[in-house]
Amino acid sequence: MFKPKSVAMVGASATPGKIGHVILQGLMKGFEGRVYPVNPHEEEILGLKCYPKVAAIPKQVDLAVIAVPAKLVPQVMRDCGKKGMRGAIIISGGFSEIGNKALEDEVRRIANKNKIAVIGPNCLGVYDSYSKMDTLFNPRYKMERPREGGISFISQSGAVGAVVMDWAGAEGFGFSKFISYGNALNIDEVDLLDYLGKDPSTKVICMYLEGTRRGKDFIKAAKRVSLKKPIIGLKAGKSDEGAKAVASHTGSLAGTARVWEAAFRQAGVVEARSMPEVFNYARAFAEQPLPKGGRVGIITNGGGFGVLATDACIENGLEVPPLAKKTAQEIRKKVPSYATVKNPIDLVGDSDYLRYEAAINALLKDKSIDSILCIVLFQTADIDSRVISVISEASDLAKKPIVCCAAGGEYSRLHSQLLEEAGVPTFSSLKAAADTLAAITYYDEFRKSVRK
């Protein structure tokens, strides 16, 4: 699916804007394998020789990407079986999601008989940032593709996946793989979890789930994988109304909210409540070390933000402990007498980057502090871009996780982006920063509890 040497694009189109045209263009953007367009009505598409059917391709083909009307899919799958293919991505919709279960069952029987692994039908397909395998049918000028990175995303919904991809590309998040698997004909979230758990380019797995047909297998797979790398789960259809909507979307079984929450806890899956939370957590997991506990050191140049940050941490079950005596003494030597040298540390409104440097370095050495929440109010007169280097260099030491909060307008957003580019997760909201620290702390505690 992700690193084939050759691909048959069944349903390739010469008409710009058509799904079969967009996918073919995507495959030609960087994928180094052979691409064979298949369309009985065309001789050539985008400079490539076109074949009337799969059987007419003269060489062995690894993978078929299928974008033809649903009623034609069974015959295409039979042709793929005769050709000896072992993989197919069926983009086409019109199966169990609209009640046409019989047609989907027929395709499943053909696939299983011929030992063809299938992603789909009714899906957006896959994207691999490293191999440049791209079967997504949304054009690149409308939907960005993320750069190379360590986050892999599994989505049961193509629409959600499209927004995720566009958002990730625009925000500069690094992706390894994206998989929209739709109706899960014979490859589902359990199989994909196992695969990504072994994938060396995947550091963090994110999942958008509407349901599962293999609840026990899902829990076993998720627990097995979460001991090696974090899994972040966003479950849709938790309300009764949402569950009904799921049934008409991918035809999956949504289940109840409490069952899914319990399943996630049992398996060590970090649950997110929204798409922004998914990426907040993923950034921290991908870029920061895990904490050794839930004790947070807070640094700010605005006292009120320190109080609010303390509340946000406590509400998340984290601690804001007193500083070690040696830590307080070390900071006191480098800050004015009117600064507050206790947790939270208030460097006050005339703070410069040197005070942040002193406070961060002291907290990194303090054994009573497991993670650092660094708040920078860029509106103050004495703070400038040099604080970016101080925070990012401390983060590079990889001793403790550091997350930042920088609220405000354009100047703050610019510096937040610079921190992000340096690998420091930065938020405009204290709640988001505290939620993220709580998520990575929960995951570390889960792994420790299982290993005991």
The answer on 293 and 434 residing in a single domain is yes
Give the position of tokens 């920078």.
376
**Residue 429: inside a domain:** yes
Q: What is the pLDDT of residues 227-259, one digit of tens each?
A: 999 999 999 865 455 445 544 444 444 457 788
**Residue 243: inside a domain:** yes
Smallest CA-to-CA distance from 287 within 383, 382, 203 is with 203
pLDDT of residue 240: 54
CATH of the domain at 23: 3.40.50.720
Domain boundary at 72, 91, 124, which? Answer: 124
Q: What is the pLDDT of residues 194-220, one digit of tens each?
A: 999 999 999 999 999 988 889 999 999
**Residue 311: inside a domain:** yes
Residue type, 187: I
Q: What is the pLDDT of residues 66-97, one digit of tens each?
A: 999 999 999 999 999 999 999 999 999 999 99
Whether residue 108 has pLDDT greater than 80: yes
The answer on 301 and 277 residing in a single domain is no
The answer on 6 and 112 residing in a single domain is yes
Residue by residue, DSSP assigns 138-205 as: S-TTTS--PEEEEEEEEES-HHHHHHHHHHHHHHT-EEEEEEE-TT-SS--HHHHHHHHHH-TT-SEE
Please enumerate in sequence order all residues whose Cβ is within 8 A of that of 64, keeping only pairs 6 or more positions apart, or say none: 7, 8, 10, 54, 76, 80, 85, 87, 88, 89
The answer on 296 and 254 residing in a single domain is no
Average pLDDT over the chain, rounded to an integer: 92
Q: What is the pLDDT of residues 296-311, one digit of tens each?
A: 999 999 999 999 999 9
The answer on 399 and 434 residing in a single domain is yes
pLDDT of residue 50: 97
CATH of the domain at 185: 3.40.50.261
For the residues 142-151, what does the mean pLDDT come to? 92
The answer on 315 and 270 residing in a single domain is no
Residue 419 exposed, middle or buried by CB count within 10 Å (0-12, 13-18, 19+): buried
The percent of residues in the chain predicted with pLDDT above 90, rounded, is: 83
Which structural domain range is residue 26 located in? 1-124
Decide: 64 and 86 in contact? Cβ < 8 Å: no
pLDDT of residue 247: 47
CB atoms within 10 A of CB 156: 28
Domain boundary at 257, 287, 317, which? Answer: 287
The answer on 65 and 151 residing in a single domain is no
pLDDT of residue 159: 85
The answer on 315 and 438 residing in a single domain is yes
pLDDT of residue 260: 87
Please enumerate in sequence order all residues whose Cβ is within 8 A of that of 47, keeping only pairs 6 or more positions apart, or say none: none
**Residue 109: inside a domain:** yes
For the residues 106-113, what does the mean pLDDT come to? 98
Domain boundary at 124, 158, 193, which? Answer: 124
The two three-digit tokens of residue 29, written as one number: 């953007």
pLDDT of residue 134: 95
Whether residue 120 has pLDDT greater than 90: yes
Whether residue 369 has pLDDT greater than 80: yes
**Residue 357: inside a domain:** yes
**pTM above threshold 0.85:** yes
**Residue 132: inside a domain:** no
**Residue 167: inside a domain:** yes
Whether residue 141 has pLDDT greater than 90: no
pLDDT of residue 255: 56
The answer on 192 and 115 residing in a single domain is no
What domain count does the chain have?
3
Buried b (16+ CB within 10 A) or exposed e, 307-338: ebbbebbeebebebbebbeebbebbeebbeee
- The confidence band for 55, taking pLDDT boundaries of 50, 70 and 90, is very high
pLDDT of residue 248: 47
Q: What is the pLDDT of residues 257-291, one digit of tens each?
A: 788 889 999 999 999 999 889 989 999 999 999 99
The answer on 163 and 116 residing in a single domain is no
The answer on 422 and 368 residing in a single domain is yes
The answer on 425 and 437 residing in a single domain is yes
**Residue 295: inside a domain:** yes
Of the candidate ranges 101-105, 168-172, 281-285, the one whose mean pLDDT is the lowest: 168-172
